[in-house]
Amino acid sequence: MRQRRIRLIARVSCRAESRGEERPLALTIGGRRIGVVDILEHALVAAAEAGAPVRARFTVELEDGSVVLLERSLPAGEWRVWRIDGR
């Protein structure tokens, strides 16, 4: 099945872990808060070029059953959010 990414405008609510890493708890999309049920994948992604920021990337399942990809430049960049559509 082919996947495609659909960019979303959303606010990501997080909780700081003991090591200072942030873990996503919920997304707010169009005024509706949708909780994160499960973190399916988490990775720190380093850029190939020197000096480029490291990115935290999460693939999460939401309460409504959708799967989204969350990505943020570290240490405090803006979140980018995509819905993963498997159709």
- pLDDT attached to residue 61: 94
Could you state, in order of their start, the residue ranges of all structural domains in the chain? 4-85
- pLDDT attached to residue 62: 93
Distances (CA, A) of 42 to 7, 23, 87: 19, 10, 23
- pLDDT attached to residue 72: 87
- pLDDT attached to residue 3: 62
Distances (CA, A) of 14 to 4, 17, 27: 25, 9, 9
- pLDDT attached to residue 70: 92
pLDDT tens-digit profile, the chain (87 residues): 556 666 677 888 888 776 667 889 999 988 899 999 999 999 988 877 777 778 889 999 999 998 999 988 877 778 888 887 654
